[in-house]
Amino acid sequence: MTQPPPQMPPPYPFQPVRQHGTATAALVLGILGIVVVPGLGIVAWILGHMALKEIDANPQAGWSNRDHANIGKILGIVGTALFAMIFLCFGVYFVGLFAIIAGSGA
């Protein structure tokens, strides 16, 4: 008589991988804030911070994209700094232009 093949042990139980939507939104807005619209960096910074707080507050939830939140937050900081520099440059330009126009009219 032949013996039946040995049974395989049951698979190890694992938590399903969950994507945090706010973290993904922070990453996307951070990229868009650098490439297209620098003002979106502020939103990415805030969303990245919120997502990191939620992920760190509940580690048993099994969020898999903490790195998206972190990168989105960093890109948001860079995008906000870029937005501030652009805003400052335009401000200096227009103040200088106004000073030249006002000085030549006297």
Residue-wise pLDDT for 44-84, tens only, equals 999 999 999 998 888 887 788 889 999 999 999 999 999 99
pTM of full prediction above 0.85: no
Q: Please, which pLDDT band fits residue 1 given cuts at 50, 70 and 90?
A: low
pLDDT at residue 69, as a whole number: 94
Is the pLDDT reported for residue 11 higher than 80?
Answer: no
How far apart are the two ends of the chain, measured CA to CA in Å? 114
Q: Residue 80 burial (CB < 10 Å; 0-12/13-18/19+)?
A: buried
pLDDT at residue 14, as a whole number: 66
**Cα 40 from Cα 32, distance rounded (Å):** 7
pLDDT at residue 2, as a whole number: 77
